[in-house]
Structures are given as C-alpha cells and as structure tokens.
Structure 1
C-alpha cells in the first residue's frame, strides 16, 4: 500500500544555513578581533586614524541599516543584495593586500574613510541582511533559526583561534581567509540555501507582493516598535558598553596585566563555547516560555550580571557572572528573531529588525560609550556598573508591562493547526 505523501516528513533543507552563518561570522570575528592589530603593526596607523576606521564603520552603518532593511523587505527571498554583500567580502583580501597602502599614501584620513565604508557595507550594515534572510528561511522551511545560528557561534571560536595563528605567520593572511570564506558564502547562497517557496507566505510572501513606503511608514506609528527600540537601547546597547572596557576591570583582580589577559582569554573562550552549546536547546526553551518572556528574562539576567559585577567580592564571582553571557546571547538572539516575526507584520520584518535592534542600538552605543568612558575615569568601574545595571533594570520593568505579546503561531513557537 502506498504511503500517504502528506504524512511523510518534509525536507527542511537546513544544513546550508548554519554553514552560511559560519562563513559570514568567521569573517566578522576575524575583522573585529584582528583588524586593530593589523592597522597598528602593518598599516602603521596611529590610534586616532585607526579609531576613525571604526567610527566610519559605525557611522555609515546608520545609513546602510535602514536602507538594507527596506530593500530586504522588498526582495524577501530574492538574493540580489545578500549575494552582493557576499561578493564584496571576497574582495577583502585584495583590498588590504594591494589597495590599502597606496590609498594610505594619498591620505591617512582618506584611507580610513574608504576602509570604513567598505567594511561597514559588508559587516555593520550587512549583518541584518544575513540574519533576517536566515530567519525568513527558517519560517518557510520549518527549522529553528537558533540551530542555524550555532554555526555563527562555532565560527567565533574557530576564528579566534585560527586568526591568531595565521596572523603570526603572515598578517595579511587574515584578510585572504576572509576572501576564501566570502567565496564559500557566495557559493552557499547560490547553490545550497534552498527556500521552500510554497511556504513563502509564512515569511512575508514573495518579492512579487507589493510593499509600498506607506507600510514602512506605519512602523513609526506603532507604539510597540518604540517600546522595542527602548528595550534594545536600554539593554543590548548597554551590554556592549559594559563589555567595552570590562577587560580593564577584570585585570584589576590580578597582580600582573599578562596574567589578567591570559585569564580573560580562557574565560572568553569558555563563554563562547557555552553560547554554542546553549544555542541548541534555546529554541525549545523560547517556544515554551514565549519570545516576549525570553526578552524580559534576558533583561533581568543582564541587570543582575552588571550589578553583580559591581558588588562582586572576589574574582570567582566575577568569572561566574561573566559566563552568564554565554546564556544571555542565545537567549536574546533567538527571542528577538521570533518576537519580531510574531509581533509585527512579517512583510516588514527586515525593516523592524534593522531599525530596532541595529540602528537604535548603534546610536545609543555611540552616545553611551563616551558617557560611560567618562564615568569610568571619574567615579570608577563599580559605581558605573551600578548605574548601567539600574538603567537596564528600569527599562526591563517598563518592557515587562508594555511590550506587546507576540502571536505564537506567526512567531513559529507553535505549529499552525
């Protein structure tokens, strides 16, 4: 007797997507981990010029992110933009090998501007394109975004280790490693990442569906959008600010800077490893408690961790609190992807994600970084952490009472009947 075809399990075409995450975030980790060192040792840039590169990356991303969000919502599953970003990443090796030094000869300021725009296109702006594309694929294909994102966590560990080794052998090789990964990413997008278009409606329809600017404009009239922005500004942005100079605070518990640096490296590796492991069960947990509650739980844990670091009596407590970040990141990454899908019109998914979790966050990180830096110098780490932790706690309480409940079916937390 023939089996009922409808009873057969659907093929999810999953494995290309964690590899996509791996190839992209390997590049991300290499640039974030070793670009500063290369600019100093090979490019011979002073601190001000090197800082201008990163300032340009952050500043230009404020133009790329909203534009990429709108374009992504119009394209949906068409790969024009995402493949353009992947191809651009293939050019990182040639750019730093053959173009950077000649441009530096023209003007250090000019090379900082060009480099910042180039890298911002690929990373600071491009990250939301990659993330929303995989999340939409997860909704259409029926797999969990968090399981694909494990590829990104694994890439962080591998790139941190491999990047240091190849940098010592030949500094420019870190950029050629990016080009190789860019080629792999391009091939994956073209040949491997298959979308079940029969389920496209679950992820915002197809690119043939009309999406006009009036629908984009409606986002700004949604109370829940502004609450989500406030939540991200008051939690995730402050996480980044808290993290920026944490290594300096951490070293105060050691007799020598070298010992502190070595211990910090081991602790960070353990944290990323924990993040990787927890990415697997996290979608199950969020499906149980709901993505809105997952975001609130993230805020509670973050507030406790920042305030706890200020009050920590010894190194062991600081390390335990730091390792909690390995739980926080899977929690917020899975929750925000499901929450936006479940609480907003999925047709404007990429725009909401780009504006709420990237654009607003970048602006607040820029502002808070300067303010917190002054506080570190004037009132010390402990008092600054108390203030940052209190802000996170207040914002989390506000969100707990005002953030809209998501639709669990639309969010992919439960299956449609």
Structure 2
C-alpha cells in the first residue's frame, strides 16, 4: 500500500475501524477493571456475603427494566451516539463516587444508579457496530474480540494496582477507561449511528416462543449455565484468596481465563460442523460443571492457573454457539425477540438468583460451598440440554414458524 493510500485508509474507513476496535477495547477494559475486583472493595468496607449478593443481584434486575427504555429513546430520537456518549460519561463519574462511600445503603444505591447507565453501553455499542459492519461487509467478531482483550488486560493490570494501592484504584481505572472509550466514540461520524431499529419489545411474540419446546429447554439450561458463569466473575476474587492466592493472582487468573476464550470460540465452528451444535453445547456445560465441582475441592492456586483453559472449553464454546442455537431454533420473524429473552433469562435472572444465593451460602457455610452450589446448578442445566440432544423435538424450520416444533 502506498503512503498516500495508507494515509487515506487511516483517515477514512480504516480510521473508523480502528476507532470501533478501540471503543470495545476501552469499554471492556473498564468492565474488566471493575467486575473481577469489586469484591475487594466490598471486603475493605466489611460487607457481609448476603449484602454482596444483594448488591450483585441489582445489575441484572435494573438491566431488564432499563434496556428497553434506552432502546426506545434511541429509536424515537435516533440518537444512539449521543446516548452512548452520555452513558459512558455518567457511568465513569458514578464509578468514581464509590471512592467516597463506605456503607451498605449508599453502595447499594450507587450500584443501582451505575447499573442504570451501564445497561445502555453494551446494547447501544453493539447496535452501532453491527450497523457499521453490515454496511461495510465486515465481521462483527473481528471488532468484538478487542473487548475480550481489554477485559483480560484490565483484570491483570488492575489486580496489580489494587494489591499495591488498594481497591479505590479500580474505580479510577474504570472511569479513565470509559472516558478514553468516549474519546474514540467522538471520532466516529454520525452517519454510522443512524439506520435500522435498535430494539424490540421482549414481550412481542412471547406466545409463539413459549410453544417451542427446544427454546424453552434452552432457556432453562442457559439460566443455570450463565447464572453460575456470571456470578463467578463476582465471587472468584474472594474464592482465590481463600485457597491461598493474592489479589495480583486474581488479575493473572482472569487474564488467562478470558484469554483462553478467544481460541476456543474459533474452534467452536469446527466442533459444531463435526458433532453438531447440541453436542457442542452439552459438552461445554459438562466441562463447566466439572470445573465448579473441582473448584469446591480447594485445589492449589497453581493448579487453577495451569488448567486455565477449562474456561475456554466451557464458556468459550457455550458463548460462541448459544446465540446460533437460538437463531436456528426460533422462527426468523421472532429471532430478535428470542435473543432478547435469552439474554434476559440467562444473564439477567440466572445471574441475579445465583448471586443472591451465593451471598447467603458464603455467610452460612463458606466460599468453597458457593462453588459446590455452582456445580449443582450447572448440572441441573445439563438435564434440559440432554433432552434437547436426545429428545423428540426437532429444530424449527425458519420458513414454517412455530408449527414445526409440534
């Protein structure tokens, strides 16, 4: 590429592409600094396990309510970029307020406020990026993977900072990362933010979806699977220290865990073609259950780090194939609704319940018992996957609608 062509690329379409990649890198850097290490802050202000569980359960509940509202605002006024700019700034500033509070009541209220703004960030950024990639015939995954890179790097780097300077540094890292993401968002022209509708009511078409046995079974499986996986992001920090690890070690563990997901996501396509999507999902869930039961036996921190790739096998495979399963097993006219319901049930309700019960289990028993609970929950999620794999119900034909499930 000549020098003039290279300059044009970086200043035009290439510059936008880089800005989108950086947007994801820093958004997820902020989340990676916050989520894996927030329990260190809770520990420093002496919250109980039940209190931590209650706070951690707030975000999914707020998201279920707030996401449709943000979507309606974006659709009604066609201001996706403005909404994302505002929520990135508000989220970063609210994050900083945590450094000034140390009581359960104030932390709980701040977390509600933070979750309200956070709930817009991922859906709106995904909407902008999907519009851009569709227009320019690019792969969404090639941009989205920078989020995984940012999350992994943040967990490691912030873990080192927290161990040296205390938990307040995680809020500073979170705020700076979102402000940096905002700066890259400002580089994107307005034309990539307008087009196609952003949201759909999750209740539209619910009657049809509830008549699809395979979809209902998968909702139950994902409720259990994602509930445990997402709750692990909150409780792993305390667990790792209980088995003898350090705060810096928590960051290293998340670096390895998150880093292992990308290659297994790439491999998931091969496994789906070779053994089918149902078998791939079933295998991922089985590995996940084995992981949690093994964690509950208090293995050494060295063993946990050495077998880091078990997250790639379980979470990487499941994440890479779950949305595909939903698309292939619901009518084309209801797939956006089906995906919204899937995320609300798995990442919303499942995470809420697992965090609530995990907090109570920690207070009544131990952190190790939390992972025994995760193993039991995930095992329950394997049962509907077995029915999907070996049961009588076949996949929905995209042009036939729900009648094909009967």
Taking structure 1 as the reference length, the TM-score comes to: 0.68
Provide the secondary structure at the position in 2 that maps to 1:235.
Answer: helix
- Per the alignment, residue 381 of structure 2 pairs with 392
- Per the alignment, residue 28 of structure 1 pairs with 31
* Structure 2: segments with no counterpart, 5+ residues: 1-12, 400-406
| In 1: Cα distance, 2:185 partner to 2:27 partner | 10
Deviations 1:143-180, CA, capped at 9 Å, x for gaps: 44433321111111232244457774984632541442
- Per the alignment, residue 231 of structure 1 pairs with 221
Q: 2:60 aligns with which of 48, 58, 61?
A: 58
Provide the secondary structure at the position in 2 that maps to 1:91.
Answer: helix
Please provide the CA RMSD for this pair. Answer: 4.8
| In 2: Cα distance, 1:317 partner to 1:99 partner | 34
| In 2: Cα distance, 1:83 partner to 1:261 partner | 37
| In 1: Cα distance, 2:361 partner to 2:307 partner | 22
Q: Would the alpha carbon gap of residues 64 and 218 (structure 1) be closer, same or farther in structure 2, given more than 3 Å must change?
A: farther
Provide the secondary structure at the position in 1 that maps to 2:112.
Answer: helix
Preserved contact between residue 153 and residue 272 of structure 1 (Cα < 8 Å) = yes
Q: CA deviation at 1:230?
A: 0.8
Alignment of 1:18-417 (within 5 A): 18-33=21-36, 35=38, 54-65=56-67, 71=72, 75=75, 80-81=79-80, 83-95=82-94, 109=105, 112-113=108-109, 115-124=110-119, 126-131=121-126, 134=129, 142-163=137-158, 168=165, 171=169, 173-184=172-183, 186-187=185-186, 190=189, 206-207=196-197, 214-215=204-205, 218-241=208-231, 244-246=234-236, 250=240, 257=244, 259=245, 261-282=247-268, 286=272, 291-309=277-295, 318-345=304-331, 348-372=334-358, 377-378=364-365, 381=369, 384=373, 387-401=376-390, 405=395
Q: Would the alpha carbon gap of residues 157 and 246 (structure 1) be closer, same or farther in structure 2, given more than 3 Å must change?
A: closer
| In 2: Cα distance, 1:339 partner to 1:298 partner | 14
Preserved contact between residue 166 and residue 173 of structure 1 (Cα < 8 Å) = no
| In 2: Cα distance, 1:93 partner to 1:243 partner | 20
Taking structure 2 as the reference length, the TM-score comes to: 0.69
- Per the alignment, residue 404 of structure 2 pairs with none
| In 2: Cα distance, 1:209 partner to 1:63 partner | 13
How many residues get paired? 377
